[in-house]
Structures are given as C-alpha cells and as structure tokens.
A and B are shown apart, each in its own frame.
Chain A
C-alpha cells in the first residue's frame, strides 16, 4: 500500500455537477480496488500557464490516496479513456511528502515557516 497523489485537469466546459460525479467516479474506482482516499481537494477553475489543446483554463482536482502498486495501471487507462480529462499526473509520495500533506491539511502554519525562508 503506497501513498499516491493524483492531479487531474478537466476541460473547463465541465458543469458543476459533471465535475462532482467525475470526482465521485474516480474516488469509487479507488475504493473499489482496495484503495483508500486520504484527502480530496478540488481547486476548481484555474487559468493555465500555457494553453493546453487550445484551452486557457482548466478545472483542477487533487486527490491523495493509498493503493497497491498494480492499481495505477487501471487508473491510468481509465483516465486516458475519459475525454473530459485534459491532463493527469500520478506522483508517488514518500514519507516526507505524506507528513507535509498531513501538516498542510491540518492547517497548522507550515507555510509561514517557508514564507520567511
């Protein structure tokens, strides 16, 4: 059971409820395959730094989950097949990353330490 973080950019033409059930779809996919969702964090509509297939904005969604290693292949296929998804990235979280996310989620002022860095 490794910790992963998935970031997905959806096409901006997605309506609110489409965005919701897209999130639900992938969260269920994770929990079906003996994975657990640690934290889901939709950023919503954000402007992209550069246009991706002619669109300058996208809906961001970040989800942190734990799953076994073989699950990523299924997740990738599902994401590639879904044409609402413009771009996705799965990153493996090491123990410092997990601790960082936990601290960030609990809202303690971890960033302030970086601000004055």
Chain B
C-alpha cells in the first residue's frame, strides 16, 4: 500500500452545495431598476436568456421583479433579446 494512501474510517464529507439565498431579501434591495444593466446581466446566461429561480436563487416576488425589469430593458434595447456571447 503506498505510504501516502490514507484510509479514512468515516467517509469524507462531500462539499455541500452552497446554500442559496435571495440577494434581494438579504441586502434589502426593494426596487430592480431596468436601467441598471450591469446588475441585470447577473440574471442572464450567455445567450441573454433569463436564469431560472433554481439557479439565481431569488424568491418568487423578486424573480418576477427581475423578469419585468429585464423585459423592459430588452424593449428599450438596453439588453439584447438573444445573443451569443453576452458576458
């Protein structure tokens, strides 16, 4: 047996996925501004599509506000409807 191969009695605890939190509740942000595209880009993937709640970790109330803001930004050509490399 190689010297450095250590046998553990108990299984190593796998890295638990990071507990997702709703950033709007945590930081007390009440209004999602459709003009603040840097902030909105965090909720879009590369193709410019909206991230679902399970990935963005938002609560339902704020996910709707974010989606409204993104749709407004798309309407005013601040965000593209579809693109290939957004980031």
Evaluate contact between B75 and A100: CB separation under 8 angstroms.
no
Does A7 interact with chain B (Cβ within 8 Å)? Answer: yes
Evaluate contact between A9 and B77: CB separation under 8 angstroms.
yes
Evaluate contact between A48 and B27: CB separation under 8 angstroms.
no
Cα–Cα distance between A100 and B77 once the two chains are bound (Å): 22
Main secondary structure of the interface of B (DSSP, over half): loop
Closest to B81 in A: A50
B residues in contact with A89, CB < 8 Å: 72, 75-76
Which residues, 51 to 84 on B, are CB-close (under 8 Å) to A? 72, 74-81, 83
Which residues, 38 to 78 on A, are CB-close (under 8 Å) to B? 48-50, 52, 58, 62
Q: A113-B29, A114-B36 are in contact. List 7 more A-B contacts (CB 8 A).
A: A9-B77, A49-B74, A49-B77, A49-B83, A91-B72, A100-B33, A111-B39
What are 8 A-B pairs with beta-carbon distances under 8 A? A49-B78, A49-B83, A52-B77, A87-B76, A89-B72, A111-B39, A113-B27, A114-B36
Residues in B lying within 8 Å of A, measured CB to CB? 23, 26-27, 29-31, 33-36, 39, 72, 74-81, 83
